[in-house]
Structure 1
């Protein structure tokens, strides 16, 4: 029997994988992975924010538990993950909020499994600190979602952009145009919203520049290398950062070892975007070694290494991410960041200011089917008692609440265990849990926090009533704040 011969065949160019074929093959790999219970992504929802831009009159009410329509804010982020097939997620919360959040989510329709991971309430941790805290649980690429996000976007649009280009990082921005002006309850406020300067290559969707507008006093300087490298850059100053980030596992390893980041949005993401313009240093150029020639600090490119066949496939493929010019695919960049900006009809809002809190409640019913895929059937909870017939279709009433017969309620959200007595008129109001509104009160565009009581015949417009506060009978007020005073109160920020 003769020896076996190794025969090498020439591969025609037509047989070389295109990027589209590569994406299809990756899809097949993902399906096989699911069959073997290998996770492609893990998800984490960051819900430990204290709501520093909201009025500090909410007492113990966590930002992620603020009511928007029939459910707390946090439910909408979890529902978004559930809709695209996530079966489980981690939720980072403050330890003082854990029991309240568990109780609230138990009353929400959810199939996704969630694990609440609590962090110390007394510590002033940033979002990067929270990720560092759960890093030992992260074994795959990570999807980071803000716990105050409400959107009807299909998250697969962001995930597929990440997959297609084997990105280090992919982000989500909403281009909703100028913020809608609305008259807000509470004391007058002249605080201007923070804005980002975002540069995206029009052809490739590469996120090439990210900075806060407050970092620039006058003119904005863009690195010359960006202009040479990318032919059509769009600069935006009114995008809403959704705080949705899809990132490689090695990014977690990098910022843990670096040990100098506290904020994902403010520090980590801008650095990674900026590092796209750099190249890995040659070993001879590296500095910062000990006497034994051991590197003291590892640069980001030490972590950004292809461990599979991605780089070899790109070299063999005819695919290029840009149409014109002689530049190689991805300009040979090791780091690649992308931004998904859906069309303006996409609903996206972050409930992190008083304005967005009011606006989200104003629009939630009209957007309900787009958000959830099904109509809202139980606007009035079956365990509530609503005797009035003067309640319109834009209202919701929570569990075990009682609404008297002679009342008029329009575009108002009433939470659980509330009592609304006779001859009360509510228009454009948000009524939280365990609130009592006594006979003859007239409220317009007001926010009433948990446990508050309004005595008879109060007349309030554009007012905020803090938790467990008692408003005396016949009180009349416009743009007022009724709350227990605290040393650290921020009336409107």
Structure 2
């Protein structure tokens, strides 16, 4: 089992926190200009409409957010190695989740949270992405500006490299969201925390795994974190309580970080590690900056970040930074309370932000070295947050969406499929049944926790429970599918049972087959027999 490690220290030196009475300036962003594509392709043919300036529609939560205040970068260029073999022939963002493309969920999430400018970053090898982005543009043309940016795999595979490559499109504070996130977290609460912290350099979202939030840690990371003698691999952080009363200059200051959501707890991040720690060594200088620091490994990084605009300039000056999580964020966290005059790579805006200068001049409690700030929004309670980055997670997310667990992603109710014949299922047959005999079993039984596409060709004695069935599928007689995902254009013979499995598109399943806990790649033919705990896929063909 995964164990939690917590250490708390309380040195006498008070924490250098922010004064409580200063509100962020909403007009401090640089003037936006028309984006110019200098690398990659712009798949957007749309222009901002009048409705984009009018604010969110009635389905979007009310917010005081300026539409141009935040841009969102949706990172969709990952290879999806954790979803192999499903992602071998289908780009990860296009994998069907409850018969919708995976990337459509974070786009819907962002639009419903009032985001007006979304940039989808992908790579050339991801076939079908341009068409998918065009469909999203058409669906949300009256609510949000959606653009696609295609990059070369060789240069821009890592997250920080991808953000650096599209820097000419970024003109405001920006939000980073992965394309595989499924969540009902109120993003506006996170944005409000970012604002209230006098323009935080970075605000990240973390889940408190001890408070019932859904765990997003991959199985590989969990396995590493359980190595003997090691602490957590990915999420070892030190947090301070920014909501407490502190003593500075003989006066008591109450520092409030307001959030309308009871599930979000703002914290200042004093330490952030993304590597295995055999032992932790911190010098006296660390404790001279921070007090009441709590070290813990129970917080899981959701990979949703809000960065100040000047971070783009920092990435340009530091081309060796390739990863946001493993390199950029630890670097920013470590530079808090540093002498930025000696930091040549730090952009001028990080040193001379207008809010900071005004605050420094108006408050005797302001620490002039507190230019860079990193904060975390700790998510507690029953909030659904899931990264669809593993096979197990993919199967679970399909099941939860079909079940209706995440209300904002309600699936469309399709007309129940009809069998090829009327035998046993029509009203005429029921009238002909002799009295006293049990009614015949319905030819097609579909459970309530299913998402089934229309237009299927079905035989008789079909049972579906807790499953997602894609379009264009054909099934013979006596087919049972339980807790599984069957993608588009799958052909299934007679007397077939599929449970706890994922069947990719264009798979053929012969008659008299039993499949249990298997992952089947696109285009594979499953021959007669029993299969359990297997990965079935076509061998690659090489042309000499």
Q: TM-score, normalised by structure 2?
A: 0.71
Partners of 2:222 and 2:323 in 1: how far apart?
26
- In the other structure, the counterpart of 1:293 is none
- Note if 1:40 corresponds to 2:81: no
- In the other structure, the counterpart of 1:67 is 96
- In the other structure, the counterpart of 1:426 is 481
CA contact (8 A) 1:98 1:118 kept: no
- In the other structure, the counterpart of 1:169 is 202
- Note if 1:312 corresponds to 2:373: no
Partner SS state of residue 267, structure 1: helix
Q: Which runs of 5+ in 1 are unaligned?
A: 1-17, 287-297, 319-327, 489-493
Partner SS state of residue 402, structure 1: coil
Please give the per-residue CA displacement for 1:17-66, whole angstroms capped at 9, x wherever unaligned: x845625xx46999xx9789871111110001101233245322111222
Partners of 2:183 and 2:336 in 1: how far apart?
29
Please give the per-residue CA displacement for 1:299-338, whole angstroms capped at 9, x wherever unaligned: 22644133424432354258xxxxxxxxx44674110010
Query: How many residues are matched?
Result: 431
CA contact (8 A) 1:400 1:416 kept: yes
Partners of 1:465 and 1:431 in 2: how far apart?
10
Measure how far apart 1:281 and its partner are.
3.3
- In the other structure, the counterpart of 2:107 is 78
Q: Cα gap change, 1:336/1:95 in structure 2, threshold over 3 Å: closer, same or farther?
A: same
Partners of 2:193 and 2:154 in 1: how far apart?
38
Partners of 1:28 and 1:303 in 2: how far apart?
15
- In the other structure, the counterpart of 2:246 is none
Measure how far apart 1:366 and its partner are.
4.3
- In the other structure, the counterpart of 1:250 is 310
Q: Cα gap change, 1:356/1:330 in structure 2, threshold over 3 Å: closer, same or farther?
A: farther
Measure how far apart 1:101 and its partner are.
5.6
CA contact (8 A) 2:400 2:406 kept: no
Partner SS state of residue 128, structure 1: helix
- In the other structure, the counterpart of 1:7 is none
Q: 2:235 aligns with which of 179, 192, 196?
A: 196
Measure how far apart 1:245 and its partner are.
1.2
Measure how far apart 1:142 and its partner are.
1.0
For structure 1, which segment, 223-232 or 236-245, has the greater mean C-alpha deviation from structure 2 after superposition? 223-232
Q: 2:167 aligns with which of 132, 135, 150?
A: 135
Please give the per-residue CA displacement for 1:402-439, whole angstroms capped at 9, x wherever unaligned: 34442000000112222233210001001112211222
Task: Give runs of aligned pairs for residues 470-489 of structure 1, distance below 5 A.
Answer: 470-472=525-527, 474-486=528-540
Partners of 2:505 and 2:209 in 1: how far apart?
32
Partners of 2:408 and 2:539 in 1: how far apart?
38
Measure how far apart 1:119 and its partner are.
1.2
Task: Give runs of aligned pairs for residues 334-349 of structure 1, distance below 5 A.
Answer: 334-349=371-386
- In the other structure, the counterpart of 2:82 is 53
- In the other structure, the counterpart of 1:385 is 417
Partners of 1:112 and 1:449 in 2: how far apart?
32
Q: Cα gap change, 1:422/1:347 in structure 2, threshold over 3 Å: closer, same or farther?
A: same
Measure how far apart 1:235 and its partner are.
2.3
Partner SS state of residue 209, structure 2: coil
CA contact (8 A) 1:168 1:247 kept: yes
For structure 1, which segment, 119-128 or 146-155, has the greater mean C-alpha deviation from structure 2 after superposition? 119-128
Partners of 2:185 and 2:284 in 1: how far apart?
35
Partners of 1:250 and 1:487 in 2: how far apart?
48
Q: Cα gap change, 1:180/1:281 in structure 2, threshold over 3 Å: closer, same or farther?
A: closer
Q: Cα gap change, 1:29/1:119 in structure 2, threshold over 3 Å: closer, same or farther?
A: closer
Partners of 1:478 and 1:363 in 2: how far apart?
24
CA contact (8 A) 1:443 1:459 kept: yes
- Note if 1:22 corresponds to 2:68: no
Task: Give runs of aligned pairs for residues 394-405 of structure 1, distance below 5 A.
Answer: 394-405=449-460
- Aligned-residue CA RMSD (Å): 3.3
Q: Which runs of 5+ in 2 are unaligned?
A: 1-18, 33-52, 56-65, 226-232, 244-266, 420-442
For structure 1, which segment, 58-67 or 452-461, has the greater mean C-alpha deviation from structure 2 after superposition? 58-67
CA contact (8 A) 2:213 2:381 kept: no
Q: Cα gap change, 1:224/1:190 in structure 2, threshold over 3 Å: closer, same or farther?
A: closer
Partners of 1:28 and 1:369 in 2: how far apart?
35
Partners of 2:27 and 2:320 in 1: how far apart?
39
Q: 2:508 aligns with which of 453, 456, 471?
A: 453
CA contact (8 A) 1:19 1:317 kept: no
Please give the per-residue CA displacement for 1:246-304, whole angstroms capped at 9, x wherever unaligned: 1111111111122111111111111111111422235xxx8xxxxxxxxxxx3226441
- In the other structure, the counterpart of 2:430 is none
